[in-house]
Structure 1
Amino acid sequence: MTIQKKPYAVIRALRSNSVNQRVHVILNPAADHGQALKHASQIEAVLDREGIRYEMVLTQGSGHALELARQAVGHSLIVAAGGDGTVNEVVNGLMRRSGEDERPELGVIPIGRGNDFAYSLGVPHDVGSACDVLLKGGSHSLDVGLVIGGYYPDGRYFANGIGIGFDTLVGLEAAKATWIPGFLGYLYGALKMLFVYPRAPLVRIEFPRGEHDELLTRSHQISVMNGRRMGGAFYMAPAGRNNDGLLDLCMTNRELSRGKLLAAMMQYLKGSQGRNPAIFGSRAEEIHIRAEEGGLACHADGETVCIEGRELHIRCLPGALRVRRDGGKDEQVKDHEDNEGR
């Protein structure tokens, strides 16, 4: 195989094939604490075996995947090979193209830390099986979320979810713990934040389209989900769907003690928080969140939106992208997810 070198990446040569598609793989070698690159040869082997015409590009830093996805032309499928942060950048790159007709289909190979977006699609964590989904899966509609505020006055798109408060602070601590793999890193961050335990801000939640009355309360944790899971194991929206035109809101609705917040976290692990009166859940197309006291720490798919934000406008963009997923149907997941938290 011929290999071309460019200043920013290594691009694999296009393969001739009988399949009428060209695939652009954007691989983040820094994903999963720098372990993602070891999967490159396996991905190449599968695509070579199937005779797929493809390019593989290695990202070189924050924001690079966004630009690669935005600028890639002549491809029918853009694949994000990495974690949720890589997916977020690729989604932002695709959404920043000039028109919907110019947006290729999105594919995912989950080789990151949490891989929550891939989970909501039913894409297996195993690289070989994930590649099979790319080759044999169906093309389906995907809603995309948009958050306006903080560092992004013009908006930041998200694929899986928004976290405000406790889980954002947990994610920041987990990112610092580079020696702790996967979900254990999030658990470490959660335990550390329980020890520090900042006071919950007073927030005002508004639903501009009138789905619900305005809510004013103190809240340690607010999640606005397009997918179902966050942090690799926490089912913030156990019955959520990313193709229904709605976002799922899950939040604590009062000041909680450490013990009660820990109990809520344990319920999130099972998706059973619907029975907890201290947790409010709702669904809406658009949600506005304003801090009346304190500040908002927010992330979108793990990417920091603000640390001391004042106001966030969040809305769903129904069917903004097409995505490659398993099964030829829009069912999110299989049996054991249906049993978790219903």
Structure 2
Amino acid sequence: MPTYHLIVNPAAGAGTGAKSIPEIDRLMQASRLPYTLTQTARRGHAIELARQAALAGADVIVACGGDGTSNEVINGLQAARKQGITAALGLLCVGRGNDFAHAVGVPVALEAGVATLARDHRRLIDLGRVAGGVVPEGRFFGSCVGVGFDAVTTIEAAKLPRWGGFLSFLVAVLRTIFLFPNGPTVRLDYDGQSLTTPTLMVSIMNGRRLGGGFWMAPTAQPDDGLFDLCVVRQCSRRRILALIPHFMRGTQPTQPEIRMLQARRITIEAIAGVLPAQTDGEIISTQDKRLDIELLPRALEVVTAAAGEAA
């Protein structure tokens, strides 16, 4: 039987992480899964905890939080892999958005999440790596890199009361319409092709959605060896408002301002303006001019629901 090391972010979901620990303990013990549990104490702490747990021999490192916690654990697992040790990723959702869990097929409810760990179905998925901004050495990501509007929205969402992932993100979107009227003009180089355009945002997706309900890449698959890019050309505030329902339904590819692309390697360079950017909800750039992004195929094993199981 695999051994599990749970890394709980007590601040996830406005304190839901800390409040969930007794229930997590009860469910893990009821399932008779051998586990240890630690809590993060600061931003970035889960990276080191995940690396240490993998090196200590845990088979599955379980991120208990939201997308930010999952991202840190992914980076810790990749650090351990660099040292020759591999471990699988598990997820228990106690955060706000949980977009990465949705992308890989992990249920949001804690009881269902622990049942998924117990069934131990494994899936190999792709990862991304972005270099630039505050991470010139590179940072791995599971869901996305967002440049422009969605990065500013991420900053605004962090300022809001913790109403829940989707509601907070929706309110932040509406605020950003008035705070971020003009995005950068970018040169986008992707797999030997090039595009130069004024943009509202560029979303590089390994998953499908952002903010708990905005379907940036509705047909993306995290194991197909390709990023799905959603490039939104600069448009008026009125037009941004009109596009919001399309992103909520995943029908934005039908709109003239939207261009959907696929690629494995991408460079984004600001020709005019700068590149505010986030990855998996963490801000990595506010004033920088260039980001380099590459896909790493089948780089991470995840414990997830089997095909046909509800996620």
Same fold (TM over 0.5): yes
Alignment partner, residue 118 of structure 1: 101
1:283 to partner: Cα distance: 0.6
1:189 partnered with 2:172: yes
The answer on 1:127 being equivalent to 2:110 is yes
Give, in angstroms, the shift of residue 200 of structure 1: 1.8
Aligned twin of 2:288 = 309
Alpha-carbon contact 2:93-2:110 (below 8 Å) kept: yes
> Structure 1 vs Structure 2: percent identity of aligned residues?
39
What is the aligned partner in structure 2 of residue 13 from structure 1? none
Q: Name the counterpart of 1:3.
A: none
Answering whether residue 37 of structure 2 is matched by residue 56 of structure 1, we say: yes
- Which of 36, 43, 54 is 2:17 aligned to? 36
Whole-angstrom distance in 1 between the partners of 2:260 and 2:105: 24
Counterpart contact for 1:28–1:36, Cα < 8 Å: yes
Q: Supply the distance in 1 between the matched residues of 2:301 and 2:276 (Cα, whole angstroms).
A: 30
Q: Deviations over 1:265-289 (max 9, x none)?
A: 2211100011112101011111110
Quote how far apart the aligned CAs of 1:199 are.
1.2
CA distance in 2, matches of 1:193, 1:109: 30
* 1:199 counterpart SS class: coil
Superposition deviation, residue 260 in structure 1: 1.1
Structure-1 separation of matches of 2:34 and 2:140: 29
1:79 Cα deviation (Å)?
0.2
Does residue 87 of the first structure (1) align with residue 105 of the second (2)? no
Counterpart residue number, 2:91:
108
| Structure number, greater radius of gyration | 1
Aligned to 1:294: 273
Counterpart of 1:236 in structure 2 is: 216
Tell me how large the CA RMSD over aligned residues is.
Answer: 1.6
SS in 2 for 1:219: strand
Task: Kindly state the Cα deviation for residue 298 of structure 1 after the two structures are TM-superposed.
Answer: 0.4
Label 1:292 to 1:272 Cα distance change in 2 as closer, same or farther (>3 A).
same
Match of 2:256 in 1: 277
SS in 2 for 1:75: coil
- State the distance in 2 between where 1:28 and 1:190 align: 26
Q: Identify the residue that residue 225 of structure 2 maps to in structure 1.
A: 245
Q: Unpaired segments of 5 or more residues in structure 1?
A: 1-19, 335-342
Alpha-carbon offset, residue 264 of structure 1 = 1.9
Q: Is it true that 1:220 corresponds to 2:200 in the alignment?
A: yes
Offset, 1:99? 3.7
Secondary structure in 1 matching 2:277 = strand
Task: Deviation per CA, 1:98-120: give whole Å up to 9, x if none.
Answer: 44851210010111010000111
- Determine whether 1:180 maps to 2:160: no
In 1: Cα distance, 2:45 partner to 2:277 partner: 22
Q: Who is 1:9 aligned against?
A: none
With the length of structure 1 as denominator, give the TM-score of the two structures.
Answer: 0.87
